[in-house]
Each structure stands twice: as structure tokens, then as C-alpha cells.
A and B are shown apart, each in its own frame.
Chain A
Amino acid sequence: MKVKKIPNTNMPEGWCNRDLIDNKIYEVIGIEEPMGWYRIIDKSGEDYCYPPELFEIVEE
């Protein structure tokens, strides 16, 4: 699944700004249950979990 980072999503200030890039398309490499977090390779080059509210799905 591919998702796009929604700009200015309602997250605590400074939390995701340095990890994710607005409007960038990311590949979801896994879904972390039970919270449903997306596992995504971020700017650090490592995969971490992020809440789905930060993204819009662009490809199932």
C-alpha cells in the first residue's frame, strides 16, 4: 500500500516534522496492531510506526 503524507496534520508540534516530508509518497511495509499504525521508512532510513491519520491512501 502507498500513502501520501498530509501536510499540517494535527500532531504535536515538532513531532513528525523532522521524520516525514509533507506530500511525499511512502510505502507501508506493515501495519502494527492493535493500533493500526503504519510502518514506514522515514527520513532516518529506518522503519517506524505512524498513525494512519497522517496519510491519505494513494494506492491500495
Chain B
Amino acid sequence: MKWEYSIIIMAYDKTDKNGDLHDGNTGRYKSKSADALSKELAIPSKKEPPIIVDTQHLIEDEVLPRSVGAKWANFEIRMPDGSKAKFIEGAKLEKKEIIAGYGARRKIDDINDLVNTFPETKSTPRFWAKVKGETTIILSMGGHLKAELHWYEHPKIGKYDFKYKRRVQDES
């Protein structure tokens, strides 16, 4: 049996700095590369719509939804002992006030941490607001507590990082 060997040299097409495609073997101009064409034909993307921030909604009382699995059921409140408290479905989040950031005189001290956590807010850091409010929470060890909470809000993100501030007298 006679064995014949053949070597096939495959040369890949190459793209030059202008985005033109050249034949891998001959080096001759072939066409524009797909990337270059798509860039040329691309329809300029529309600018993002402006963010409209209604500071009124930040300070209006909120009644937490009753439905199971609603976003409020997933929010956790950081307690001083490291445990996580939960919101009560159907409870009222009241006495809300913007304490720093958008809509307030005071700046948010840890704004850089927020922007690093949510890079999508890098172009709109001024819309971050630090808000406070009061509601009744469920402690992880059981039992309810009326508390003042602090959290952050951004129109692109929503509410973020609920933190226990202090216990308040339950007037109900």
C-alpha cells in the first residue's frame, strides 16, 4: 500500500486597521469586514430618556403589599446584632423623609460605595437619595418591633440596604 501525504495550508483572512478584509493567501482586498460594515450601517442609538425623579413619592406613606412573594417580602433589614429583620406584609411605611442626597441639602457620605455597587448609576449619581421612615418589622428571633429605618433609593435601582436606626414608640 502506498501512502500519500498532502499538506493543506490554511491561511485565514485578515482585517486591516481600516476594517477591510484581505484574503489570507493572496493578501488581496476582499471586502469590508462584518464588524466594519455593521459599524458603518449602524443606526445611531437614541439617547436614554431623561430620568424624571419625583421626590414626592419618596416621602409619601406606603402601604406594603399583602401578596406573598412581593418584593417587600424579599427585602431584609440589617439589625445591629447582625441578624436580618423582615417587613410585615400590609404594614405601613410612614413618616418618610429624605435625609441626604437628591432632594436634601446634605450629601450622601458613602456615595462612592453606592456607585461602585451599582455601576449603572455612574452617570446619574446625583439621583441617589437616603431616606428614613418608620414601620413595624419582624425580628429573626420572633416578635415585632416598631422601628425607624434608613435606606437608599435610586430611580434605576429602587430601594436598597434597609438598616435599623432606632426603636420608636408604637402609638397604635
Contact = CB atoms under 8 A, between A and B. Distances in A.
A28 to B, nearest CB: 13
B81 A51 contact: yes
Contacts of B154: none
Contacts, number: 40
A44 B82 contact: no
A52 B119 CA distance: 34
Interface in B157-172: 163-167
Interface residues of B, number: 17
Nearest to A9: B82
Contact of B113 (A12, A18, A35, A37): A18
Contacts of B100: 45
A27 interface: no
Contact of B165 (A15, A35, A48, A50): A48
15 contacts: A12-B82, A15-B82, A16-B82, A18-B110, A32-B80, A32-B167, A35-B80, A37-B81, A43-B109, A44-B108, A44-B109, A44-B130, A45-B110, A48-B164, A51-B80
